[in-house]
């Protein structure tokens, strides 16, 4: 069966490249992926794969039924959305949508899963069970398309026994894949703090509230959460990336806005830390004669890779790519809404390398120069199909 998969992945390679480049040329933001979904639906129809659309927004779910389709169901997932980044590229497939770019590889994820689905559909008379393909919108924006897929019943009828996700990794050499069991990626919450007070002339600070100073002290004081409240054994990040104090050289504004992110790997500590953030911010503001309103947007949970499911996928990758092309990965403080699935089903989220220094493909994710070595589209689509079939045999 493995040789058949490799043969089909090679046969469909140019189509996979076409799909990836089309999606890359026409990116759409989270919750706006209508044209992307229409294109994916057209390809599924062309390949003969039955599907349902408009699931949890612009999501699409396709079912590939083998012999005895109720015997076992396994799921594969790819994401559809792009990022609000202006692309810096002279490639023919550069984004034509101003200020929008596939800078996180979702175009490649979708292209590879479409081809994996096409391979499995070709081989459907040679396996038992059902493979569910989940083309998910809105990975990049809270509350995340995965949660909307779950709420819409996307993990039911049939319910998969496990779910697999694949994501590009530009720091890993092209042709290699990486796995990690257990807690793999962090939870992510968005911190919003509004500091208020009586603004006024900067030359008379005794008559007004120095909201800028208060905001500065809040940012500094909140670092205690990581250095003194978090266990040294618990990875924790609290970072602030945006402060808006719209005053002037000689004007203290009546309002300062602070935005940041909090990330960790434990739900109990996550909840406690958010209590600390609120308390410290409010008490710091009061000590300076102002007020602080704290709004924390609850984001994605941490991503948990089930040990058995991940080890099974890793074994399949070794069989398909060779042991020398399969590596162990470190934990990451980045977040992924695939995490929602990992708290519902046994899950494996793994990374596929796309770095090729000889082709000068080295830019990181979420950058205006991001690109991939397209040779991975063949191995990546075949690997997804092989892992799916391996799961059906468990």
Q: Residues with Cβ < 8 Å from 103, sequence gap 6 or more?
A: 82, 83, 85, 87, 365, 366, 367, 368, 370
190 has which bridge partners?
Answer: 261, 297
Size of the chain in residues: 394
15, 87, 139, 378: which one is catalytic? 139
How many CA atoms lie less than 13 Å away from 370 in the CB half-sphere? 25
Q: Please tell me which residue in 79, 81, 140, 336 is annotated as part of the active site.
A: 81
Q: Which candidate, 194, 31, 43, 14, places its Cα nearest to that of 118?
A: 43
- CA pair distance 53, 322, nearest whole angstrom: 37
Residue 278 CA to residue 189 CA, distance in Å, equals 13
**CA angle in degrees (0–180, nearest 5) for 323-326-332:** 160
Residue 57, sorted as left (phi over 0), alpha (psi -120 to 50) or beta, turns out to be left
Note if the bond before 158 is cis, omega within 30 degrees.
yes
Collapsing DSSP states into helix, strand and coil, what is residue 61?
strand
Instruction: For residue 168, give both structure tokens.
Output: 């590009």
Where does residue 175 fall: left (phi above 0), alpha (psi -120 to 50 degrees), or beta otherwise? left
Any residues with CB less than 8 A from the CB of 336 and at least 6 apart, and which? 139, 165, 167, 185, 300, 303, 349
Residue 139 annotated to the active site: yes
What is the phi-psi region of residue 386: left when phi exceeds 0, alpha when psi lies from -120 to 50, beta otherwise?
alpha
Distance CA 394, CA 387 (A): 11
**Residue located via tokens 């958010």:** 274
**In whole angstroms, what separates CA 94 from the centre of its chain?**
22
Q: Which residues are catalytic?
A: 81, 139
């Amino acid at each position: 069966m493995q040789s058949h998969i490799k043969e089909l992945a090679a046969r469909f390679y140019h189509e996979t490249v076409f799909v990836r480049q089309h999606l890359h040329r026409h990116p759409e933001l989270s919750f706006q992926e209508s044209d992307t979904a229409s294109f994916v639906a057209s390809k599924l129809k062309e390949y003969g794969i039955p599907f349902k659309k408009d699931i949890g927004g612009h999501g699409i779910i396709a079912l590939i039924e083998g012999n005895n389709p109720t015997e076992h169901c396994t799921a594969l997932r790819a994401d559809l959305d792009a990022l609000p980044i202006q692309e810096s590229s002279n490639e023919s497939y550069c984004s034509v949508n101003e200020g929008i770019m596939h800078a996180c590889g979702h175009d490649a994820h979708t292209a590879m899963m479409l081809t994996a689905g096409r391979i499995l559909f070709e081989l459907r008379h040679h396996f038992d069970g059902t493979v569910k393909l989940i083309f998910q919108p809105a990975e990049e924006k809270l509350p995340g398309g995965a949660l909307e897929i779950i709420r819409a019943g996307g993990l039911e009828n049939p319910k998969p026994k496990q779910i697999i996700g694949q994501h590009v990794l530009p720091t890993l050499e092209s042709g290699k894949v990486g796995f990690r069991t257990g807690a793999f990626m962090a939870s992510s919450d968005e911190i919003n703090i509004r500091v208020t007070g009586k603004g006024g002339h900067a030359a008379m600070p005794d008559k007004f509230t120095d909201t800028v100073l208060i905001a500065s002290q809040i940012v500094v004081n909140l670092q205690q959460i990581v250095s003194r409240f978090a266990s040294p054994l618990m990875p924790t990040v609290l970072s602030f990336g945006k402060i808006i104090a719209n005053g002037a050289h000689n004007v203290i504004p009546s309002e300062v806005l602070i935005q940041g992110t909090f990330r960790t790997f434990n739900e109990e500590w996550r909840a406690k830390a958010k209590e600390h953030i609120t308390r410290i911010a409010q008490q710091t503001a009061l000590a300076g004669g102002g007020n602080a309103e704290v709004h924390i947007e609850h984001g994605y949970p941490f991503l948990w890779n089930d040990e058995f499911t991940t080890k099974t996928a890793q074994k399949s990758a070794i069989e398909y790519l060779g042991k020398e092309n399969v590596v162990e990965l470190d934990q990451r403080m980045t977040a992924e809404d695939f995490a929602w699935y990992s708290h519902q089903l046994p899950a494996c989220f793994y990374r596929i390398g796309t770095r090729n220094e000889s082709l000068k493909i080295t830019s990181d994710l979420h950058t205006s120069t991001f690109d991939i070595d397209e040779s991975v589209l063949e191995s990546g689509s075949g690997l997804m199909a092989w892992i799916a079939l391996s799961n059906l045999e468990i």
